[in-house]
């Protein structure tokens, strides 16, 4: 599992982000903003809201924001709620793997 870079105090002063490969070719290592903008999630598009789904791809075969977000969360299993076949008790907080992202939940309802 790869972790994100540690934020530094000069992130707001170094200008825009660059693709990490370009930054490395210039003799520097990527910073947090480089990795977040270019590697973490794709840029949202207007069509993500109306046509985006967990298996959708862009015109170049690239992931759309909804499909990338769906890949971040594992598929919930029966064991995520405790004993299979039993409902969770009052006050039970399900693990992250059993919770939909709020944005994704709204997309599914529309």
- List, for residues 40-95, the tens digit of each pLDDT value: 777 777 777 776 666 777 777 777 777 777 777 766 666 656 555 555 555 555 66
Domain contains 52: yes
Q: What is the model's pTM? A: 0.44
Give the Cα-Cα-Cα angle 62, 12, 29 (nearest 5 degrees).
60
> How many domains does the chain contain in total?
1
Domain contains 10: no
Domain contains 63: yes
């Amino acid at each position: 599992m790869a972790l994100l870079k540690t934020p530094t105090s000069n992130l707001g002063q170094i200008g825009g982000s660059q693709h990490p490969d370009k930054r490395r070719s210039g003799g520097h290592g990527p910073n947090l903003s480089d990795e977040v903008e270019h590697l973490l999630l794709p840029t949202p598009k207007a069509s993500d809201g109306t046509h985006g789904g967990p298996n959708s791809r862009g015109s170049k075969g690239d992931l759309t924001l909804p499909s990338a977000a769906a890949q971040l969360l594992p598929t919930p299993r029966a064991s995520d709620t405790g004993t299979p076949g039993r409902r969770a008790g009052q006050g039970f907080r399900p693990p992250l793997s059993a919770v939909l992202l709020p944005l994704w939940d709204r997309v599914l309802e529309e």
